[in-house]
Structure 1
Amino acid sequence: MTSADTHDRAGASERRAMARRLLDSSRALSYDPVREVDWHTPLDPRHHGTSPEWSTLYGTSYWAEMTPEQQRELTRQEAASVACTGIWFEMILQQMVLRDFYAKDPTDPAFQWALTEVADECRHSIMFARGAAKLGAPAYRPRRLAVELGRAFKTLARGEAAYAAILVAEEVLDVMQRDWMRDERVAPFVRTINNIHVVEESRHMKFARAETRERLRGAGPLRRRFNALVVAMAAYCIVTNMVSAKVYANAGLDTARALREARANEHHKSMLRSSCAGLMDFLASAGLLTRAATWFYKRANLI
């Protein structure tokens, strides 16, 4: 047996052990949103949908002119938009994971974990949908180009490109939701939703990091550069579609002015960059933070 074979066997054994730990964790700590979330108590208009500091307009002159009622309504619409974007990407994620494990060994703990993750994502998507509806928001959707690019990505993305993109989407949302779930200004049912998502996604992120590193083992520089660019483009598409332009009109604001001030809002850009520091460190350590990829992350205010 060669040293490469020994290394591969050790890697496979480690992967199975991690999958078993994730399965054990899932059995010990998972939630049923139907029972855990208070869907019945009417929405209290005195509550925000996100921590105000995470609003795209926080810190702008427009925010200062808004009434507290308008500020709260805007954060509720923004929370609903983020939830709808989350549903869009979770549907992409589910298809990529199912395709990756299609016809593989069902006795492998990694196979069983993959199905567990898909089941989690199905529950999360339903939870986000009900949450957006309770916030009094319409069905926000990504821009048409993003929808079509997502359709292509879920069909073509393989290996490290798929898992690193999954990680990017989950990491960006994770930091936001950790703030929101602890903030008593945020509606209680939204805080519960955020808590459920943070707890269960922590397992998904651990798996995505491990799979990204595993799939990159032995990858040459050309493959790394290509996939680094694909992941960065996916990240740009996800982040720039998180808050729909329609949230401003639905919050009773001047859309043109709101968009102008949101795009120039250095506070919000700083919040995004700080939330992604750990993610960028991981991508750099995996060789996925190339010069071309960095250009897209900068455009998305992630670095």
Structure 2
Amino acid sequence: MTIEAATRTAGDDVSRRLLESSATLSYDPDAEIDWEAPLPDDEYGLNPEWSTLYGTPLWDRMSQDQRVALTRYEVCSIMNTGIWFEMILQQMILRDQYMNNPADPQFQFALTEIADECRHSIMFARICEKLDAPKFSPNRAIVELARLLKSTAGGEVAYGGTLVAEEVLDVMQRDWMRGENVLDIVRTSSKIHVLEESRHMKFARQEVREHMDGIGSLRRAGSATLIAAVAVVIVQALVHPGVYRAAGLDTREALAAAKANEHRKSMLRNACAGLMQFLSEARLLTGPAVSLYRRANMI
């Protein structure tokens, strides 16, 4: 058996196991989340440690109500970014699987993942509605660049970009789902997302391995840099500047405090540790890519 055939067989095996897992262990947000339950006034939107201002002098001066409000707006901003990128992801996967053999397990799990992502996006949208948060969107230039990405990216770039968003959010949500002072609606949605996204991450890693098999050095260098650029945009888009104004803070002061926040930088680097290890193993952690990741405090 050739290396290419062995890699494809391994991919089919992974996809079969993921399909079986999806059939036996998935959640319905309508049934799992109590959408009508009132929101306790003193519970955060995410663990305070994950707030962009936690550990700064500004956080120390904020009232408890402002801290609660900020974390609720921050989690909604992160969910808005998640919805935005999940829509990009679905289109990239559909293009990558276009006209592939429907009998292949990889094709079937790709469609299963798209169905999951649709449910996740609706779940996040309903949470933002429940928390009465404004819409937090990337700026126009980023939106248009993303439109180009979703129309052209494929292979290791599509699935590598997928991993960036999923891995970082996975680490955050594993903390949120255990946060005793975090809103139950966020804790439960985090549990659902963590469990189902773990399958998506396994699938994305296998797809990256398959697409990287035997590629040339020029393509590898280009893909590594493009994935890193996508990562920087995603991480910087997670928390929209509008969250500070919505929480009653001075936007300029809050942005400066968040930018200088060493605690935030440390949390982000820890969240990216697993992602960086995989990218290194996949030969996608090149010099220019590392420079971009370091600039975004991801490494």
Q: TM-score range by the shorter chain?
A: over 0.9
* 1:6 counterpart = 2:2: yes
Opposite residue 17 of structure 1, the aligned amino acid is D
Q: Is the 8 A contact 2:8 2:210 kept in 1?
A: no
Q: Is the 8 A contact 1:225 1:290 kept in 2?
A: yes
Equivalent residues in 2 for 1:34-45, closer than 5 Å: 34-45=30-41
Find the aligned partners of 1:235 and 1:204 in 2 and give their Cα distance: 17
**TM-score computed with the length of structure 2 as normaliser:** 0.98
Find the aligned partners of 2:121 and 2:161 in 1 and give their Cα distance: 18
Opposite residue 283 of structure 2, the aligned amino acid is G
Match of 1:245 in 2: 241
Match of 1:260 in 2: 256
Find the aligned partners of 2:9 and 2:270 in 1 and give their Cα distance: 35
Q: Equivalent residue of 2:135, what SS?
A: coil
Residue 6 of structure 1 and its aligned partner are, at CA, apart by: 2.6
C-alpha distance after superposition, 1:78-134 (max 9, x if no partner): 000000000000000000001111111111111110000000000000000011111
Residue 294 of structure 1 and its aligned partner are, at CA, apart by: 1.1
Match of 2:108 in 1: 112
Find the aligned partners of 2:128 and 2:295 in 1 and give their Cα distance: 28
Residue 8 of structure 1 and its aligned partner are, at CA, apart by: 2.4
* 1:147 counterpart = 2:143: yes
Find the aligned partners of 1:246 and 1:77 in 2 and give their Cα distance: 9
Match of 2:191 in 1: 195
Q: Is the 8 A contact 2:44 2:69 kept in 1?
A: yes
Identity level (%): 58
* 1:24 counterpart = 2:20: yes
C-alpha distance after superposition, 1:243-298 (max 9, x if no partner): 00000010111111101101110100110001111111111111111111111111
Name which of structure 1's ranges 283-292 and 195-204 shifts more when overlaid on structure 2.
283-292
Match of 2:47 in 1: 51
Match of 1:33 in 2: 29
Find the aligned partners of 2:167 and 2:142 in 1 and give their Cα distance: 20
Q: Is the 8 A contact 1:49 1:135 kept in 2?
A: no
Q: Equivalent residue of 2:118, what SS?
A: helix
* 1:222 counterpart = 2:251: no
Structure 2: gaps (5+ residues): none
Residue 236 of structure 1 and its aligned partner are, at CA, apart by: 0.4
Find the aligned partners of 1:194 and 1:6 in 2 and give their Cα distance: 41
Find the aligned partners of 1:111 and 1:274 in 2 and give their Cα distance: 33
Residue 201 of structure 1 and its aligned partner are, at CA, apart by: 0.2
Find the aligned partners of 1:111 and 1:255 in 2 and give their Cα distance: 46
Equivalent residues in 2 for 1:27-106, closer than 5 Å: 27-106=23-102
Structure 1: gaps (5+ residues): none
Q: Is the 8 A contact 2:4 2:213 kept in 1?
A: no
Equivalent residues in 2 for 1:155-234, closer than 5 Å: 155-234=151-230
Find the aligned partners of 1:234 and 1:280 in 2 and give their Cα distance: 14
* 1:279 counterpart = 2:264: no
Find the aligned partners of 1:6 and 1:77 in 2 and give their Cα distance: 52
C-alpha distance after superposition, 1:147-197 (max 9, x if no partner): 111111111111101111100110010000000000011000110000000
Q: Is the 8 A contact 1:51 1:186 kept in 2?
A: yes
Find the aligned partners of 2:115 and 2:37 in 1 and give their Cα distance: 27
Match of 1:123 in 2: 119
Residue 10 of structure 1 and its aligned partner are, at CA, apart by: 2.1
Give the CA RMSD over aligned residues. 0.9
